[in-house]
Structures are given as structure tokens and as C-alpha cells.
Structure 1
Amino acid sequence: MGERTGTGAERAHRLRRTLGRADLGAVPKARRELRELLRHWGRPGRSEIAELLTSELVTNALVHTDDDAVLTAVVSPDGLRVEVRDFVARRPRLCAPDTGDGTHGRGLVLVQSLADAWGVSPHGVGKSVWFELGAEAA
């Protein structure tokens, strides 16, 4: 279920969505909600990059952790920060895509290549994988 938080102008700048365990139907829903949040944000192409990278992080969390996850996206004057928190301590591995399989191994490579910054932040239970994009970057 998607949820907007805050009051007034702040409400339109933050998205928080709980993602159910193994619910891959949440991926296109998260993309649509992010697209709505970013409707008037950034240079052409920036929101599409944000959607792609968000899809990768959400998919990874749901496929590789077998647990719930929480998507948070915050738009500020400095840009966009998206994080996907899961409740499994195992850190994601950045690995070269398998050339024999066109569907696995590319997610974090895309994040590393297209985001202005990205990383993994540990939590008491689990971790957050996040990325940042500036609105005006080329």
C-alpha cells in the first residue's frame, strides 16, 4: 500500500510504500507512484532513470531477501533519494552480468552506472540500498 507522508507542500515530495514479500506486482505499482511523484521534476530523462533504478532495487529486495521491504523516495531541492529497506542483513553483491542469462546480474551494475551516488546502509535489522540523482545532471 502506498502512503504519502508529511503535510502541505511536503506531502507531494515524499513517497513511502510497503512492499509485500515476493510481491513482484509491486514493481510496476512502485514505478507508477514514483512517476507521479516526479511528474514535474528534473531535466528530460531524469525521471525515467529514477524509475529504472527504483525497479531494480525493488526487484532485488523482493527476489533476493524473501521478506517484506519498504520503498522511500524523497524529492528535495538537491535532487532525489530513493531507498529500499529490507530486513535481511546479507549485503547485495555487485557482480558482472552473466552473459548467458539476459535477466540476472544487471541491477546493481545499472544503479552504479546511472546514479549520481549509491550505497548500502546497515540497520539494526536488515539494510537499505539507496541511490541519489540530481535533477539537472546530464
Structure 2
Amino acid sequence: MVEDEAASPMERAPAPQLRRRLGRADLRAVPEARKALRELLRTWGRPGRSETAELLTSELVTNALVHTDHDAVLTATVGPRGLRVEVRDFVPRRPRLRVPNADDSTHGRGLVLVQSLADSWGVRTHGVGKAVWFELDAGLA
């Protein structure tokens, strides 16, 4: 995990972008976010890269909606170096990377997946909360 104090260079270049406000505890936003990201990434990256992006995005969106009692904002930006996805919420409590319990097949795996599959990821604090983000390169090289 990377502590990210400033915006990534990928955020500064004008690029195709998805931005969605996610309603508090509205888990319908998870498949909607995946679908919107799929449309944004229709021609992006090598095969399988956009599916990885969808999976990681759904993990971050789910975490924001389940573990906070506030709205969240999803931003996905396709830049010259790859994709950056950020989910901002309005709770300062930082997420914890947990070792999943083998007896619990549905909880505790989100950030482990992000850590395992993203090229980089981290948490950036902001005035009234935090943003959890990940980046993927297009995998074309």
C-alpha cells in the first residue's frame, strides 16, 4: 500500500473519465459501477485487464458502502500510463488489510484482492475522509 499525499500524474492529464456518486448503503451501485466501468474500458488494455479493473472497483465500492454510513464517489480515469480508480468516502477511518478467515467465504478479501492484482494501490486522506485507489497499466507492453 502506498501513502499518496498528492495526486498521481495520471490524474493531471485530460483523459476519458467515469465519475459516479454512490448513495449511502445502496449496494445496487456495485453492479452499476461495474457496468459503467466496462463501457469506459471497452477498448482498453490487453484481454482480462478490464475484468480485473471491474473486480477491484467492485471491491472498493462495496467496502465504501458497507463500512461507512455515508455516500461515496467513484472516479475512474484512463490516462497515458493506464487506469486509476479511486473511491472517496467521508469517513476518516482507514481501511485495514486483513487476512481472510477461511471459515468466512464472503468477508475480508477485498483489499487482499486489490493488493494482489493492482499494479499499485493506496489510501489518500482528504479534508473529510479518505480515498482508496488502485492503478493498473494497460498491459500492452
Q: TM-score, normalised by structure 1?
A: 0.90
Answer yes or no: is 1:33 the counterpart of 2:50: no
Answer yes or no: is 1:89 the counterpart of 2:62: no
Instruction: Provide runs of 4+ in structure 1 moved above 4 Å.
Output: none
Please show how residues 32-51 of structure 1 align to structure 2 within 5 Å: 32-51=35-54
For residue 107 of structure 2, the aligned residue among 104, 113, 133 is 104
SS state at 1:105 partner: coil
For residue 132 of structure 1, the aligned residue among 115, 132, 135 is 135
Q: Percent identity?
A: 78
Tell me, yes or no, if the aligned pair for 2:15 and 2:79 is still in contact at 8 Å: no
CA distance in 2, matches of 1:59, 1:70: 12
CA distance in 2, matches of 1:70, 1:51: 16
SS state at 2:95 partner: coil
CA change 1:96–1:137 in 2 (3 A) is farther
Please show how residues 52-131 of structure 1 align to structure 2 within 5 Å: 52-131=55-134
Q: TM-score, normalised by structure 2?
A: 0.88
Tell me, yes or no, if the aligned pair for 1:12 and 1:37 is still in contact at 8 Å: no
CA distance in 2, matches of 1:137, 1:28: 27
CA distance in 1, matches of 2:112, 2:15: 30
Residues 66-116 of structure 1 deviation map (CA, whole Å, 9 limit, x = unaligned): 110000000011000000000000000001001111000000000000000
Residues 43-87 of structure 1 deviation map (CA, whole Å, 9 limit, x = unaligned): 000000000000000000000011100000000110000000000
CA distance in 1, matches of 2:41, 2:136: 12
Q: CA deviation at 1:12?
A: 7.3
SS state at 1:40 partner: coil
What is the alpha-carbon root mean square deviation over aligned residues? 1.6
CA distance in 1, matches of 2:27, 2:18: 19
Greater relative CO, 1 or 2 (CA 8 Å, sep 6+): 2
What runs of 5+ residues in structure 2 fail to find an aligned partner? 1-12
